Structure 1
Amino acid sequence: MSGLFDILRKIKTRPGMYIGRPSLSDLFMFLVGYKTARRELGIEPSEQEVEFYREFQPWIQKRFNVQTVNSWAKIILLYSVDEKEAFTYFFKLLDEFLVRDNNLAVNQGDESQRGVEVSPSIPN
């Protein structure tokens, strides 16, 4: 069975096949169901998946300087024109989230990272 980031990659490419249309609310509900189904089947999440589930919400709140009980999807929607734009924006923010630690290393002067452009990609 594919992991979270595999399915996200597929949804980004062909949203109609997985969630019907490019909609952040639909994607959010799909991810809630996906997480629940894996838990019910006893499939343990990877470390990257656990990090996403635990850290993405607080990261989004910090990124937008928002304190709220609303989901990350609602926050992104607040800063988007419509569901389709929010869907696209989610993947941009996800890439940003996934490279945040690499960017921190560069900013702190890690010589091995200096001068290397970090390209965001959904983990395999």
Structure 2
Amino acid sequence: MNMPENVTELLQSIKNKPGAYLGEKSILRLKHFMDGYCLATEYAGIDFDLDTYYAFAEWLRTKYQVMSVVSYDTILTDRFSDDAAAFDAFFDEFELFLHEWEQ
């Protein structure tokens, strides 16, 4: 497994094979994995552009009119029936975000 070029590529890999990265579809596991990945790349001095990832969280707060600084896992967990549904919603929302972000 090669290191992904950017956060979008990493998230696509996780979406395609959540069991390989997280064990199961879980928004909480995704958030914890991404927190660890971001920290590890920072500590290792690896230039891994995370602007898109951080901008997504802000976009989601704006979309759902969340005034407090909470993370995307909290926003989605509050709105969907279970952890796996929130995981699927993350990727649906991320695709919408990317479409807007790239324009």
Give me the TM-score of the superposition, normalised by structure 1.
Answer: 0.74
- Structure 1 CA distance, aligned partners of 2:9 and 2:52? 15
- Quote the residue 1:6 is aligned against: 9
CA RMSD of aligned residues (A): 1.4
Q: Per-residue CA shift, 1:28-79, capped at 9, x if unaligned?
A: 0000000001111101123xx32322x1222111111111222111001111
The question of whether the paired residues in 1 share the 8 Å contact of 2:7 and 2:53 is answered with no
Unaligned stretches of 5+ residues in structure 2: none
> Please, which of 31, 34, 37 is the counterpart of residue 34 of structure 2?
31
Identity, % of aligned pairs? 30
| Larger-Rg structure | 1
- Quote the residue 1:51 is aligned against: 52
Greater fraction of residues in helix: 2
Match of 1:60, SS state, is helix
What is the number of equivalent residue pairs in this alignment?
A: 100
Unaligned stretches of 5+ residues in structure 1: 106-124
